[in-house]
Amino acid sequence: MICMRNHSQKLNAEAIEGAAHYMGKGIAAVDLAGDEASYPPEFFRDVFALSHKRGIPITIHAGEAAGADNIYEAIHNLGATRIGHGVRLKESDSIFEMVASRGVPLEMCPVSNIQTKAVSGWDSYPIREYFNQGIKVTVNTDNPSVSGTTITEEYRVLSKRFGFTHRELAAIVMNGVDAAFLEQSEKMELKRNIFDELGRLGVSL
């Protein structure tokens, strides 16, 4: 369930309470999205403190339309265990190292990130750099109906534009499993299913 940056604290608190009511019934976590440049994450500490109180996992859109400091704030003060987009992480060496060492997943959305001009173009898109330097990259569609994309297309872009091999793409798939808001037993079952499917496709990790 998504809290919106341009909404009041009251409305966002209601979203958190709604998420708490439906946890395990279709809701897995809460998010913060919207105009990151105008509404930095520190404005929402109280809202996400409520999420902690309710025991709800958190992911935050950060480092997309504003700098790496927002990623630090999202992790340290809002409690994010995943970061939406994070394309501007490389603007801070220290925050980059923190994200890498903690294994905080980035929910990167290549097609959307180009469309929204989060980066200037494919030549400056940092996904290969992040992957090579040990960032736990995941690949996502963002809003597929708006971006006109599919997860298959996102992986095709990675192969075509950045030279990701089948084995590397499989590693990114497994990053997504590791990042999933699932119980450990569910996560292990999903991993087994994906390993089996990769084996049928002749792809090893």
The answer on pLDDT for 205 being more than 90 is no
Give the pLDDT mean for 1-25. 96
- The band of 195, judged by pLDDT with boundaries at 50, 70 and 90, is very high
The least confident of 2-6, 142-146, 165-169 is 142-146
Name the nearest CA neighbour of 107 among 125, 130, 84. 84
30 touches 15 (CB < 8 A)? yes
The alpha carbon of 70 is separated from its chain's Cα centroid by a whole number of angstroms, namely 14
Strand, helix or coil for residue 106 = strand
Interval 78-121: pLDDT, tens: 999 999 999 999 999 999 999 999 999 999 999 999 999 999 99
The whole-angstrom separation of Cα 86 and Cα 121 is 16
Treating both helix axes as pointing N-terminal to C-terminal, what angle do 166-179 and 184-200 enclose, rounded to 10 degrees? Answer: 160
Amino acid identity for residue 34 in this structure: G
Could you confirm whether 97 is annotated as catalytic? Answer: no
Second-level CATH architecture of 2-104: 3-Layer(aba) Sandwich (3.40)
What's the rounded mean pLDDT across residues 135-139? Answer: 98
Contact 106, 136 (CB under 8 A): yes
Q: How far is it, in rounded angstroms, from Cα 180 to Cα 133?
A: 21
Q: Which among 17, 36, 42, 64 is annotated as catalytic?
A: 64
Enter the DSSP assignment of 4: E
175 contacts: CB under 8 Å, gap ≥ 6: 105, 136, 137, 138
pLDDT value of residue 154: 97
Count the helix, strand and coil residues of the chain and give each as a percent rounded to the nearest 5. 55, 10, 35
Give residue 117's pLDDT: 93
The predicted pLDDT at position 8 comes to 96
